[in-house]
Amino acid sequence: MSDDGEAAACLVECYWPGVTEQKLLAVVERVQAAIERRHADGRALRLLGSIRVPADETVFCLFEGEQEEVEAVSTAAELPFERILDSRWMDETRRFPK
């Protein structure tokens, strides 16, 4: 939970030469399995989505949860990440403050 009461979010940045949609789908399945295994001990974590940028050989995955949990799940799923950044998820229901 962030200081303002919002759920913590983390952006996982992956430089992934040769990434294909099939490779990303396979790793997303492994991430989901790793999350399910960790949920067994009461930890909350959720993959909100992934973006593949083929021209840059890059993948971004957005998680809701604490950074140490995101790192543990990403490592267990063999997601080839470069860094994990604290971030803020905004959509049509959650707007930036004016």
Model confidence over 4-57: pLDDT tens digits? 556 789 999 999 999 999 999 999 999 999 999 887 666 689 999 999 999 999
Every domain of the chain and the residues it spans: 19-87
Check pLDDT > 60 for residue 59. yes
Check pLDDT > 60 for residue 1. no
Residues 30, 79: Cα–Cα separation, whole Å: 9
Q: Where do we find the tokens 């403050």?
A: 97
Q: What is the pTM of this model?
A: 0.83
